Amino acid sequence: MPHSQLARPHCKSATQLIQIADKFVKQDGGNQDMETLLQECIDTLVNYQEECKKLRKWGHKPPIQDPEVFETYEAAYVYYKIVSQLVLNKIPELPQFVKAKNSAKTEREKGLIELYNMLVKTLLTDEKFADIRKFIKDNSRSDSISAKKGLNHDHNIIDTKAAWKNGQALTLLQLTSLLQSCKVLLIDLRPRMKFIESHIKTEAIICIEPISFKDNYSDTEIIKRSLITSPNREVSLFRDRDKFDFIVIYTDMQDKTHFCQQRQEILVKLLVERSFEKPLQGTKVCTLEGGFQNWCRNEGLCETTKTSDESGYAMDYSIPPLAPRSMGLTKPAPLSSSYSSSRISNFDTESGPGANVGSSQVFPYQQMPNLRRNSSFKEKLSSISRSLSRTGSPSLEPSSDLYKESAKYPDTPQLALSGPQLNSLSQLNPHDPKIISPHSKSLSPPRLNGNSTPGVHPNGGFGPSSFSNKYSTTKELSPLPISRRSESEAQLPQPMLNKKTASFCVGLVNLGNSCYMNCIIQCLLGTYELCQIFLDDSYKNHVNLNSKLGSKGVLAKYFSQLVHTMQQKAISASASSKNKLTAGHEKTAVQPINFKVACGSINSLFKGSSQQDCQEFCQFLLDGLHEDLNQCGGNPSLKELSEEAEKIREKLCMRIASSIEWERYLTTDFSVIVDLFQGQYASQLMCKVCGRKSTTYQPFSVLSVPVPRGSRCDIIDCFKEFTKVETLEKDEQWSCPQCKIKQPSTKKITITRLPRNLILHLKRFDNLLNKNNIFVSYPHTLDLTSFWANDFDGRLPPGVSELPTRGQVPPFNYNLYAVACHFGTLYGGHYTSYLDKGPPNGWCYFDDTSWRRAKSDHECITTSAYVLFYHRTPNSTF
C-alpha cells in the first residue's frame, strides 16, 4: 500500500483508516477463491510485519515531529485491518470455506483450514497492534482535541474529570498537576526491590509486582494474593482505592520484552472491569506516559524507602531485570551444600538473561556467544505448515548409582572432507560378514572418513562410512554419565537400570497464562538423566556455540538455573518444615520469570502472556536444548540421496534402511537430548498401479498420535490409527516417478526407532481447533513391541558388516512417569500435571504454585490427559 506523501501534524482517525481498509477489501470483488484470499492475507501480514519493524526502531517514544512516523503507524493499522476483515468477514462467507470447515476430506482442504486457523491465531496473539491502535487514538485530530480539553489548569481538573478516560496516558505535567490538586493513588508496577531503591515521592503510593496477578483476577484477589506480603500501609491504601479521584499506574517502560507494559494494560483493565468489591465509579484509572524512567529523566521527585515493614524485602527478593543488558552469559548459582539460611530467592536466577558476565565463566571451553533472535514472519508461516513431528535430540545411558561410574562423552562425528563418493553398492569394499551387533558398545555417532565400513554416504550416494564401533579419538571432553559394562556384557542385551527420579517437589508461579510452560517443566524434570546433567552442570562442557540453530547456550543456561533454584527452594521448604512435606503452596513456589524471558527472546510465540499449546512448548524446549548441546551442529547439512541410491535403499528391509538413515542423521544431530528422547518413523508411499515405493525417515522427539472419535478408546487404538494404511484421495495422489503421472496410492507410517523416553501427544484438536474430549485409556506399563519395525531378513547390503543397534533391541516395554493434562479449549484452558516422584512421595499432582501427593497411583489416569511421558522398563535394552 503506498504511503501518503503529505506530512501532517496528526494521524488520520481510526474511522478514516478503517474506511481505507474497507475500500481495499471491496476492490478485490467477490470472485476470488479461498486459496487466493489466504495468500493475499499472508502477503499483507508480511507488509504489516515490515511496518512493525520500522516502529521498533523508534522504541516507545517515536519522534512525532517526523511525518514518516505517522505514515508508518497508519500503514501498519490499515494492513492489520485488511487481514482482519478478510479472515473474519470475507473468507467465512465463501462456500468453499463452509464446505471445508464442515467436512474437510482432501489434504488440500485440510491444509487450507489449517492455514486459516493459523492466521486467526496470529491475529489473536499479535501484541503490537494494541500499541498501534493507541498511538492512532492518541494522535488523531479528534483525539488530540479531546486531549487538549483535559489539559486544564489545576482548579478546573476536578470539574472536568468526566472528560478523562480510563487507560489514558498522562503527561508529566498532567500528573504533577493532579498530585497537587486531587486525591491520587500511585501504583508502582515494578519489582519490589526496584520500588524500594527508588519511586515517585508521594504519600499515597503502593507497589504491585507485575507477576503477582493473573489476567482473570478481581480486585478482591489482588488484596488476597498480590498484596499478601505487602506492608499494611499499602494494603490499607488499596482498600480505600475508591476514595481517590485518580489511580495512576506507572511501570518500567525500558523493558525491551514489553512484559511490564503488557502487565500494566492488564492491571488497568482489571481495575476498570473487575472491581467487584469496590466499583470505581468516581475514580479514573490512568497510566504515566514514558513510565518511571520518563519521570526521573525530567527530574521528578523520587525517594528511597526502607521502613520497618519493607526492610526484609532486600533479603527475600532478588528480582532480575527482564530485558537482556548484554549478550554475555551468567554462571548459574552453585548448588549450596548448606541451607542454614532460611531465605532463598523465589526466582529462577539472580541475574536476567544476558547479564554482563564473560562467557568464560560459564562455558570455559567455548567462545563468546550471540543471542539468537526469532525468525521472520515468513519463516514462522513455513514452520507452522511443516510436519507436526519435528526433531528432538539424543540422550545418554542411565548410570548405575547417581553417576558414580562414567564414561567419556562420545566424540563429535565428522563428515569426510575427501575420498570417493560412490553411487552404487557394488563399488564398496567387502568386509568380514557379521550379523547386526546386538548392542552398541559406544554412544559415539558414525565417523564418515572414507576408509571404513560402508553405508549410505551423507552427501547423497552410497559411500564408505564407519558403522563399526572403532573410532579415532579427538579432544577429550569431560565425562557424562553412562554405565560401565564389560566387553562380554556388551555383546548381549542388557537390562536398563531402574529409573531414578528427581525427588524434589516445588510449585511454579503462573506468569500470566504460563501454565502450559509449568506443566511441561515439571514433567521433563521427571526424566532423571536430563535433570541430573543440569544439576551437576556437566551440560556446560557440551554447549556448542557453533551450532547453526542453537541459542549459543542461552536456553540451556537458564533451564539449568531454574532447575537449581527449584531444588534449592524445595530443600529449603523441607528443612523449615517440622513434618515431612506432602504438599506445597504459593509461598514455596518458584517464579520462572528469567527462563520464560529467555524462551521469549528465542521464540516470540512464548514472549507474551497469551495461552499456548503445551506440546508445542515441549517440542520447542527439547529442540532448543538439543541445538545448544548439539556436538555436530556446525557440520554441513546432509544432501538428499540420489535417485539411484534411493532405489537401492528401497530394496533393503526397513530395519537396515532405517539404521543407515539414523547413522547419517547423527552426523549432523548428536546430543544428549537425542539419546534421551528421540525416535524415528518411516513414511512410505506406494503406487497401487506399478508398486513403486518411496520411503522417508523422520526423527521425532514428541510423537503425535491421532485420537479416534467415540465414547472411549485405548492408547493402542491411537497407535493403530497412526500406523494404518491410508488411501490417498484423488487430489492427494502421489506423482509416481515410475509411471510419471499421479496414480492411486497409499501411505503408511511405521515406527522404526523407539526412544529411551517416549513422549506421546494425544492429538485432541482437529483442523478447526475443536477438541476431542474422549477418554483415552492408557496403562502404567505399555508394550509397543508390535509397532516396531522388525522385518530384518538376515541380509545386509554388500560390504556392510555391522550396524550399531543403539538400543533398538526388543522388547519395548515402557513405564508411565508423567502426564500433562489440559482442561477447556485451546485458547481458554488450563494445564496441570501428574508426576511420579518415586519414594517417598510417589505420584504427585502439580497445579502451578501448588502441589500435593496423589490420592492413589491411578489418579493420573484421567480424561484430561494430553501429553504422556513413558520410559523404557528394566527388561528393555538400551
* Catalytic annotation, residues: 515, 830
| Eight-state DSSP code of residue 485 | -
| Eight-state DSSP code of residue 215 | T
Q: Average of pLDDT values for 629-645? A: 88
What pTM, to 2 d.p., does this model score?
0.53
Burial 661-692 (b: 16+ CB within 10 A, else e): bbbbbbbbbbbbbbbbbbbbbbebbbbeeeeb
Q: 145 CB contacts (<8 Å, ≥6 apart)?
A: none
Q: Average of pLDDT values for 535-543? A: 90
- pLDDT for the residue numbered 163: 66
- pLDDT for the residue numbered 1: 45
Q: Which of 144, 117, 27, 132 lies closest to 79, judged by CA?
A: 132
| pLDDT above 90 for 285 | yes
- pLDDT for the residue numbered 14: 78
| pLDDT above 90 for 437 | no
How far apart CA 450 and CA 452 sit, in angstroms, is: 6
Residue 104: which pLDDT band, with cuts at 50, 70 and 90? confident
Asked if 866 and 821 count as a contact pair (C-beta separation under 8 A), the reply is: yes
Residue 361: which pLDDT band, with cuts at 50, 70 and 90? very low
How far apart CA 720 and CA 784 sit, in angstroms, is: 11
- pLDDT for the residue numbered 500: 57
Grid coordinates of 638: 546432509
- pLDDT for the residue numbered 418: 31
Largest CA distance in the chain: 100
Which has more pLDDT, 568 or 173?
A: 568
Asked if 425 and 797 count as a contact pair (C-beta separation under 8 A), the reply is: yes
Weakest mean pLDDT among 1-10, 83-92, 782-791: 1-10
Give per-residue pLDDT as tens, 287-336.
999 899 888 877 677 887 654 444 333 333 333 333 333 333 333 333 33
Weakest mean pLDDT among 102-111, 182-191, 528-537, 827-836: 102-111
Which has more pLDDT, 462 or 378?
A: 462
| pLDDT above 60 for 135 | yes
| pLDDT above 90 for 277 | no
- pLDDT for the residue numbered 24: 84
Q: Average of pLDDT values for 72-96? A: 86
| pLDDT above 50 for 356 | no
Give per-residue pLDDT as tens, 761-775.
999 988 777 889 899
How far apart CA 292 and CA 260 sit, in angstroms, is: 12
| pLDDT above 50 for 674 | yes
| pLDDT above 90 for 225 | no
Give per-residue pLDDT as tens, 549-559.
888 899 999 99
- pLDDT for the residue numbered 619: 96
Which has more pLDDT, 11 or 621?
A: 621
- pLDDT for the residue numbered 401: 33
Q: Average of pLDDT values for 406-421? A: 33
Residue 223: which pLDDT band, with cuts at 50, 70 and 90? confident
Give per-residue pLDDT as tens, 803-815.
788 889 999 999 9
Asked if 553 and 366 count as a contact pair (C-beta separation under 8 A), the reply is: yes
Residue 790 amino acid letter: N
Q: 447 CB contacts (<8 Å, ≥6 apart)?
A: 411, 413, 414, 466, 471, 472
- pLDDT for the residue numbered 318: 31
- pLDDT for the residue numbered 32: 77
What whole-number percentage of the chain has pLDDT above 70?
72
| pLDDT above 60 for 221 | yes
- pLDDT for the residue numbered 599: 94
Highest mean pLDDT among 52-61, 491-500, 604-613 belongs to: 604-613
Give per-residue pLDDT as tens, 388-404.
233 333 333 333 332 23
- pLDDT for the residue numbered 62: 74
- pLDDT for the residue numbered 336: 32
- pLDDT for the residue numbered 161: 61
- pLDDT for the residue numbered 286: 95
Asked if 553 and 369 count as a contact pair (C-beta separation under 8 A), the reply is: yes
| Alpha helices (H) in 478-592, listed in sequence order | 487-490, 515-524, 528-535, 554-576
Weakest mean pLDDT among 95-99, 308-312, 469-473, 809-813: 469-473
At residue 320, φ and ψ (nearest 5 deg) are: -80, 160
How far apart CA 431 and CA 514 sit, in angstroms, is: 56
| pLDDT above 60 for 386 | no
H-run or E-run covering 583: strand 583-584
| pLDDT mean across residues, the chain | 75
- pLDDT for the residue numbered 376: 37
Burial 458-487 (b: 16+ CB within 10 A, else e): bbbbbbbbbbbeebeeeeebeebbbbebee
Highest mean pLDDT among 141-155, 264-278, 422-436, 452-466 belongs to: 264-278
